[in-house]
Copies of this chain bind each other. A is one copy, B any other.
């Protein structure tokens, strides 16, 4: 099969990879119909994370082509969406809603779904079937649910976005925009998107942002305080993952408020004393997307949300290298790869 492999930083190739086969009886082989490039794929692309002939990709939708003997909830031909983290969905951690910390967790990034097919372990615990064959438009929305929507949604839930709350979202990338969508769906009263890009501001407003703040760092914190009677936001989503953005998010959260964070790069060092005196509640990590997938699929099927709008560049898989370049150069927010 064809698949994306990064040979070295900046060197993205689409080449022949071995076809996957069933190994364990809980596996499924999925023929992928769409995949995409994640902001986190840029870490190895930019050499921030080690990379050496590494298959890429962890977001995926597709059709079940083959199942292992123990797969119960799926059948060949089902259209499925999967989380970017493999989970059995039966262990004690999964049952508490933290499937991304499953005792059997594996990151799908190690499988590499920027490819024609993928072997998905623990298929029952990782994949969710859609009610039927999706339209081309629905495919885009469902693909978003695999990571970027699920992650933004988790960030908003971790930040306890909800009725009566003012939610500030640090970061206007795809995850930040999805967090705005989620905050709106969760009933937040006021949603402040922190963005200085006009086209992303427009999309943030489309998804429910009531205010835009262009300032960053200390000036950004000051602006959020100015908008919240000097107190800070009840709920803050951190969707960038740098030192500056994380501390901006901490500073924008009111005492006793909630911070949801869904990405922290390798260089971030959080000064304990600043976290301490902030007096906040913080939750984050790789998003337990599997917890939310059934609800997200239903919202997409009902036409209640349109997360697929975050894909602003669509390319065939064979042109993945151009997709990486476009995201690296910020010409695209999120690239969808067709198969």
Contact B283 A273 (CB under 8 A): no
Q: Which residue in chain B gives the minimum CB-CB distance to A246?
A: B272
Binds B, one of A4-12, A108-116, A274-282, A329-337: A274-282
* Given A101-B255, A276-B264, A286-B277, A231:B92 Cβ within 8 A: yes
Bitwise interface map of A from 250 to 289 toward B, beta carbon under 8 Å scored 1, else 0: 0000111000010111111111110111111111111010
Contact A93 B272 (CB under 8 A): no
CA distance A69 to B265 in the complex (A): 54
Chain A: residues with Cβ within 8 Å of the partner, total of 44
29 contacts between A and B (CB under 8 A): A92-B229, A92-B231, A93-B231, A93-B254, A93-B256, A96-B256, A97-B256, A100-B255, A101-B256, A241-B272, A243-B272, A246-B272, A263-B276, A265-B272, A265-B273, A266-B272, A267-B272, A268-B271, A268-B272, A268-B273, A269-B272, A270-B272, A270-B275, A275-B284, A276-B284, A276-B285, A277-B285, A279-B284, A280-B285
A→B interface (CB under 8 Å): 92-93, 96-98, 100-103, 158, 229-231, 241, 243, 246, 254-256, 261, 263-273, 275-286, 288
